[in-house]
Structure 1
């Protein structure tokens, strides 16, 4: 069996002869080296660099560069083992590249877009972005696609070329703070200065609301049934809480503080006017004289 595998599989010119056994060894070596390269790159980045203050997206870039560097070394080692010079692939690689370029245009485009995203970093791993009405966190920027985890837990896989070309909002590009707001309406006749003070106190007492930038309380409008106030405040995405949960906490505290000081949260009111002239016809019983 071994002697049969040592027979010639193909020759290149008059000097290079490749046997079936060499091809089998090369294939096994490539598969083993592929997984070993991924594991080694992961261990170097996650175990060694985890003690440093390098950001997650920088670690992903380093891991990817290490993996492809080791992969190139594997390919060169296989070619050297087979005794095949690189010049042999000059013409073949050109023809293959042209055909591969036409047949896998989207794959190459997404691959290059992924490297652009990782180098220019308009988005980074851990950023909160809004794209096509979806708000979520970037959890991975891969070779072909970017994974976004929405607030409801769903994972969205977006091709890198679409991420690069589309308009998106990066809420945490320069800092980890996101501004949000809570609206409340109080009854007419309420002490507006007291309402503003209570809202400011609620924001100042909340442990997740940032003192800088400062909370802003705005008397927004004279509504149909309420005096409308908006409280704008900043929360760090690194707090680990969703914005809707933070706003819910703020509303609970506002309700409690308003009750303590006798401030009434407004509700819709409607006045019904009856025509007194026709009131007797409205309430007259059937058959009455």
Structure 2
């Protein structure tokens, strides 16, 4: 009798310990992840609304894990319940496929640090400075305009990070009539570029002939600048400088 009571007590103690661990471990994991996310919010890396949404989702997941774990420990058959939840999850996933894809892509961006807030990037023809990295989209600011790019594009489409390279190459073309002295014009262009404060000195600019036709010679000029958003202004100023310092008939 005594031995039976002791065995029952030990069994109950094991049950209590299992239940305590089943509750404590997910809660600890939840708190650790929540603190990490709040730290990202304080750093300005992710917007507050995205952090709050993710914490809510995480909380629901933790609660479900605890409930299923407790039922399993208590010996309740949860197989049919898990199957039902699985079907519901599949239905929800299909209904919110784009949202889930963007959230997962947002996590990949943060983990791999493909770019950070204030980086200058370009994707699908959109250039700008990263203002916010949300769990569904990235906000780019350029020329007083805010562009919102879905996160999933950054995992499926090539993009450029000009902050990582430190410079941006601006290509533009000019046409020189055939009667002009080509070497002389290229030399004059080089002198203007050498003395220009609008472009970087390293890497160096490039000038090369693209094509020759009956109307003239097409020259491509590639200049490095620090801010991609200044490309239009830089090209405009350089063209005006060419016009002022090179004989009009030559261009």
SS class of match (2:203): coil
Deviations 1:15-49 (A, max 9, x none): xxxxxxxxxxxxxxxxxxxxxx9xx7588436xxx
Shift of the 136–146 alpha-carbon distance from structure 1 to 2, 3 Å rule, reads: same
Q: How does 1:217-232 map to 2 (within 5 A)?
A: 217-232=207-222
Q: Would you say the 8 A contact 1:146–1:158 is kept in 2?
A: yes
Q: Would you say the 8 A contact 1:220–1:230 is kept in 2?
A: yes
Instruction: Tell me the residue number matched to 2:172.
Output: 182
SS class of match (1:140): strand
Instruction: Tell me the residue number matched to 2:75.
Output: none
Gaps of at least 5 residues in structure 2 are 1-34, 72-77
Shift of the 234–87 alpha-carbon distance from structure 1 to 2, 3 Å rule, reads: closer
* Length-normalised TM-score, structure 2: 0.62
Q: Would you say the 8 A contact 1:186–1:263 is kept in 2?
A: no
Gaps of at least 5 residues in structure 1 are 1-36, 47-58, 76-83, 267-289
Q: How many residue pairs end up in the alignment? A: 200
| 1:144 aligned onto 2:144 | no
| 1:45 aligned onto 2:33 | no
Q: 1:172, CA displacement in angstroms?
A: 1.8
SS class of match (2:175): strand
Q: 1:207, CA displacement in angstroms?
A: 1.3
Q: Would you say the 8 A contact 1:101–1:108 is kept in 2?
A: no
| 1:195 aligned onto 2:168 | no
Instruction: Tell me the residue number matched to 2:196.
Output: 206
Task: Return the structure number with greater helix share.
Answer: 2
Q: 1:177, CA displacement in angstroms?
A: 1.1
Q: 1:162, CA displacement in angstroms?
A: 3.4
**CA-atom RMSD, angstroms?**
4.1
* Length-normalised TM-score, structure 1: 0.55
Deviations 1:113-147 (A, max 9, x none): 2111111133443232121x444443322012222
Identify which of 231, 234, 237 aligns with 1:249: 237
